[in-house]
Amino acid sequence: MTPRERLAAITFVAALRERRYSRAVSDLLWARWMMGTSLAFHIVFAAIGVAMPLFMVLAEWRWRRSGSDVHLELAKRWAKGTAILFAVGAVSGTVISFELGLLWPRFMEFAGPIIGMPFSLEGFAFFTEAIFLGIYLYGWDRVSPRVHLASGVVVAVSGAASAFFVTLANAWMNHPAGFALVNGVAADVDPIAAMFPPGWAHEVVHVVISCYVATGFAVAGIHAWALRREPGNAFHRAALGVALGVGGVAALLQPLSGDFSARQLAVTQPVKLAALEGHFHTERGAPLRIGGLPDVDAAETRWAIEIPAGLSLLAFHDPGAEVKGLLEFPRDRWPLVVPVHLAFQLMVGLGTALAAVSLAFFWLAWRGRTGTPLLGRRFLTVVALASPLGFVALEAGWMVTELGRQPYSVWGVQRTSEAVTPVPGLALPFWIFTAIYVFLGVMVVVLLRRQIAHAPGGGDAPASVVVSGGRT
Amino acid sequence: MSAADLLGAVTLAAVVFYALLGGADFGGGIWDLFASGPRAKEQRALIERAIGPIWEANHVWLILAVVVLFTGFPRAFAAVSIALFVPLVALLVGIVLRGAAFTFRLYDGRDPVQRAWGAVFSMSSVLAPLALGTAVGALASGRLRFESGVPAGGFMAWLAPFPIAIGLFATALFAYVAATYLAVEAHGALRDDFRRRGIIAGVAVFAAAALALALAHGHAPLIFAALTGRGWALPFHAATGVAAIVAFYALSTRRVRLARAAAVAQTALIIAGWGASQYPYLVVPDLTLANASAPARTQELLLWALGAGALLLFPCLYLLFRIFKGDRPFAIVDGAPRRGAR
């Protein structure tokens, strides 16, 4: 081989390696996009599946107690909506349970035995939820009133239990526990300790509450919009009362849970907290930055409103406390600082706005008792505009925790790039599932619009009887 | 019996339940596709009524099997997810479209919309069992080989005659059990429609089984050897055969509840026979129950969790079927026809 040929051969091999490398990188990205899209889609239906049964049961309970037909109609309509949304949630959740293996086989191989417990318990919660939802939806005239209402309660409780168990698994990914790492292999596995890793409580509470906030505001917004057109409609008023009542209480609790989370994070995942806050330099009396755009290369966050000592105060309840900055950690352990910071700001901003709307609602409702008209047109507009914000905040919060954990799939233990499947050509399944999700999303909106468009309660028209199971 | 063996048995049981319940829901979708004759509309309405309240609960058996697999046998779960990526994605597409289309059709009364969703519902009901059966056939075929966790035969090794024959077999089997269930739930001429369909599907099951066995000789030698050679094999085949004959006899003599019970027994025996002939392999021939196992502590805890879960689950399931499938949801003998019960 002449030197020239050898050089050509080396260049060729290098080019091949490069290509294989870039293919691997792009497949990792497609895998992340696919998982992210599936979760972003599923999480909406999952959250609705947690909260909607509670609304539906509350409406039925009020009907059983007071005999108000509007609430019966409401329970039946909401049950139909729940049926549609739950079905999409169930099938998209199935996709996720398979995708964990299809996209991240090494993650599941490593983590399966450690965090299988919450997943199996979630399986049983899902079983009870599906069984009793079937009884609730199709059993209006087949079971006694008490059994029917109790079935609804079981659905609501097991829905919350599902969210509880699944979030435990995510909490473990953020703060792995319950095993020892020996030569890259998990030893001394203790599934019970892994089920309750440090910080599990704050994440679980935050996620479960977020389901009620997001769903409550989404539902309330739809009925507020309808009320703007038809101010006297008793059906929409009842709906708004239940949805905003639950959603409002949840929205007021959420900042407390967020504070609890931030304090946990400061101890368990300081680099994530630093990224959330766009906080680069370790300092005492660290300021709280509102908004702003982190510049990773210059190691500073520009154009933020700074509240002196605010971060120290929030993270440690001590204005003089030291908060570790990003520069404290090696660069390859930083999450994607800019998107994480922005998503966090978005979540907190929207959460605060929703808490303010809730305060206004409870104030107006309390004042309404003394005789003034309940909710004015202006307030209804605000509620209608706030309709999607809970879900935007929920998605942003999910991005905070997932992007904030990168580059790891299991924090500090397994990198996402180590977890990914060797299967090539992941772009194709990504586009297939994305197309399906877009299509399903559009269909769900169309269907729900049809359900809402024919809402009763506008005065003289008698509430039409809705036969169980959706056939009229 | 080790914890791994016990857990393997539980997984197999979950698969049996999934086939008998979730599988039958897919079977209903298949009969939606083949609805024909003067009562096509009634056939579809019966299928919809039969599946409606229970399909979501029935579907959870699959989730349970997946969870037990990745918790108890993580190596096998990872290997299967890599080697069977393509059929599993196809299965997922089928599952998503089936569930969504069924629900959308139910809640949108407009005729053209119903027809469109009906088509999606019935076609995805064929795709899912085909993909699932193919994946199961590939596990048994011995074609999925692994070298340090990576499939040695590439990502399309599952694409072979034997796995596809199992895919067809599963599709026929699901249609067969569904027809016997629907025959119990139907009355009059509609019952005869599904009795006839049950017999046709039974013949298809037999043909697909014969094809699979013939192919197994060359393409799944280990399974073939177990099915023909092991000590338990002969009584097992005899029992399955008796169940099949009873089912045919009962279908043709209008003893629909007996036919249903026999078809259930036949299906359970077939799946149990597959599991027994494959024992102790999870993926023939590289992954066994033992070498794919999670740590013993995990497996023991999982068994306890599953036991406790079962105590909760079975009464709830009984309640569900008791409410929607009449007074004696699982009876074998046909009682006096009860008017008003669907």
B44 near B125, Cβ under 8 Å?
Answer: no
B155 near B89, Cβ under 8 Å?
Answer: no
- Measured CA distances, A13 to A6, A7, A339 (Å): 11, 10, 37
- Which residues are CB-neighbours of B229 under 8 A, at least 6 positions away? none
At CA A392, angle to CA A391 and CA A398, rounded to 5?
85
B122 near B142, Cβ under 8 Å?
Answer: no
pLDDT at residue number A88: 93
At CA A363, angle to CA A362 and CA A367, rounded to 5?
115
A112–B74 C-beta distance less than 8 A = yes
**End-to-end alpha carbon distance in chain B:** 44
List the single residue in A93, A116, A127 with the smallest CB-CB distance to B71: A116
What gap in Å lies between CA A173 and CA A402, rounded to an integer? 10
A126–B60 C-beta distance less than 8 A = yes
CB atoms closer than 10 angstroms to residue B151? 22
pLDDT at residue number A242: 92
B106–A112 C-beta distance less than 8 A = no
What gap in Å lies between CA B2 and CA B73, rounded to an integer? 14
Q: Six-digit token pair at A210?
A: 């977020």
Among B26, B60, B144, which would you mutate to test the A interface (most chain A Cβ atoms within 10 Å of its Cβ)?
Answer: B60
pLDDT at residue number A449: 85
What gap in Å lies between CA A134 and CA A149, rounded to an integer? 13
At CA A225, angle to CA A253 and CA A249, rounded to 5?
10
Backbone angles phi, psi at B19, to 5 degrees: -65, -45
What gap in Å lies between CA A459 and CA A322, rounded to an integer? 62
Type and span of the H or E element at B217:
helix B188-219
DSSP assignment string, A8-73: HHHHHHHHHHHHHHHHHHHHHHHHHHHHHHHHHHHHHHHHHHHHHHHHHHHHHHHHHHH--HHHHH
| Burial class for A224, CB neighbours closer than 10 Å (0-12, 13-18, 19+) | buried
ipTM (interface pTM) = 0.91
pLDDT in tens, B1-31: 789 999 999 999 999 999 999 999 999 999 9
Total-model pTM:
0.90
pLDDT at residue number B153: 82
Type and span of the H or E element at A78:
helix A69-103
Mean pLDDT by 10 residues, chain A (472 residues): 66 57 75 94 95 96 90 92 92 93 93 93 94 93 92 96 95 92 87 91 94 96 90 87 94 93 87 92 92 90 90 90 92 89 94 94 77 69 94 95 89 90 91 94 89 61 35 33
**Nearest alpha-carbon partner for B95 in B150, B132, B67:** B132
Q: Indicate the SS3 state at residue A196.
A: coil
**Which residues of chain B make contact with A30, given a CB cutoff of 8 A?**
none
Residue B48's pLDDT band, with cuts at 50, 70 and 90, is very high
What gap in Å lies between CA A195 and CA A130, rounded to an integer? 24
**Which residues of chain A make contact with B85, given a CB cutoff of 8 A?**
102, 421, 423
A32 near A416, Cβ under 8 Å?
Answer: yes
DSSP assignment string, B222-248: HHHHHHHHSTTHHHHHHHHHHHHHHHH
Radius of gyration of chain A (CA): 25
The residue with tokens 């009969």 is B31
Residue B325's pLDDT band, with cuts at 50, 70 and 90, is confident
**Which residues of chain A make contact with B89, given a CB cutoff of 8 A?**
102, 429, 432
Count of pairs with CB atoms under 8 A, one residue in A, one in B: 206
Amino acid at B166: I
User: Any idea what DSSP says for residue A468?
Assistant: G
Percentage of chain B beyond pLDDT 70 is 97
User: Any idea what DSSP says for residue B328?
Assistant: S
**Nearest alpha-carbon partner for A320 in A284, A273, A289:** A284
**Nearest alpha-carbon partner for B260 in B14, B24, B16:** B24
Q: Indicate the SS3 state at residue B87.
A: helix
pLDDT at residue number B163: 94
DSSP assignment string, A95-133: HHHHHHHHH-HHHHHHHHHHHHHHHHHHHHHHHHHHHHH
Measured in whole angstroms, the distance separating CA B7 from the mean position of its chain's CA atoms is 19
**Which residues of chain B make contact with A119, given a CB cutoff of 8 A?**
67, 70-71
Looking at the complex, does the CB of residue A37 fall below 8 Å from at least one CB of chain B? Answer: no
**End-to-end alpha carbon distance in chain A:** 82
pLDDT at residue number B341: 42
List the single residue in B57, B302, B305 with the smallest CB-CB distance to A127: B57
Q: Considering only A413-422, A429-438, B108-117, B162-171, which range has the smallest mean pLDDT?
A: B108-117
Q: Where are the alpha helices (DSSP H) in A387-461?
A: 389-405, 416-419, 427-453
Looking at the complex, does the CB of residue B57 fall below 8 Å from at least one CB of chain A? Answer: yes
